[in-house]
Amino acid sequence: MSIIYFLIGCSVLLALVFLGAFFWAQRNGQHDDLYTPSVRILLDDEPEETEPKK
């Protein structure tokens, strides 16, 4: 059963990685604007102007 020590160590480590990721996202400003991206994704990309017209 001593494998439990290792497993719990792993699970805590993994959880810490996620916490770190959340902190990184927070610092990076990813949670500053939670609304606009939801609209932006619905806007189509413009066709490239350099494309030859047929």
Partner 1 sequence: MKQAEIDQQTTCFHCGNDCADERIELDEKVFCCNGCREVYSILSQSGLCSYYAYNLHPGVNQAKAGKRLDYLKEPSIIRQLIDYSDEKFTTVTFYIPDIHCSSCIWLLEHLNKINRAIYHSRVDFLRKQVNIRYATQLTTLHEVVALLDQIGYEPLISLQDVVKKQAFDKKDNLVKKIAVAGFCFGNVMLLSFPEYLGISAYEQSFRQFFGLLNLAFCLPVVLYSGREYFQSAWTNLKNKVLNIDFPLALGIAVLFIRTAVEVLAHTGAGFADTLCGLVFFLLVGKFVQRKTYYHLSFERDYRSFFPVAVQVIDGETERPVPLSDIQVGQRILIRNNEIIPADAILLKGDAHVDFSFVTGESVPVNKVLGEVVYAGGRQTGEAIELEVVKPVSQSYLTRLWNNEAFTRSQENRVQTFSEKISKYFTIVLLLIAFGSFFLWLPFDLPRAISVFTAVLIIACPCALALSTPFTMSAALSIFDKNFFYLKNTAVVEQLAHIDTIVLDKTGTITISGDTAIAAHITASDTEKQMIYSVCANSTHPLSRLICQYLNNYAKLNTNSYYEVPGRGIIADIDGHFVKVGSAKFIDATQQEDSSAKKTEVHISIDEKYIGYFTIQQHYRDGVNAVQSLSSAYRLYLLSGDHGHERESLSSVFSMDDMFFDRTPQEKLDFIKQLQQNGHKVMMIGDGLNDAGALKQSDLGIAITDNVNNFSPGSDAILDGRALKKLPVFLKFSKDALHVVYISFCISLTYNVVGLSYAVSGKLSPLIAAILMPLSTFTIISFTSLDTHLVAKQRKLI
Please state, in angstroms and rounded to a whole number, the distance separating the CA atoms of residues 51 and 47.
8
Please state, in angstroms and rounded to a whole number, the distance separating the CA atoms of residues 25 and 34.
12
Residues 1-54 that bind partner 1 (CB under 8 A): 1, 4-5, 8, 12, 15, 18-19, 22-23, 26, 31-33, 35-36, 39-40, 42-44, 46, 49
H/E run at residue 26? helix 3-27
- Residues at the site binding partner 1, with contacts judged by CB under 8 A: 1, 4-5, 8, 12, 15, 18-19, 22-23, 26, 31-33, 35-36, 39-40, 42-44, 46, 49
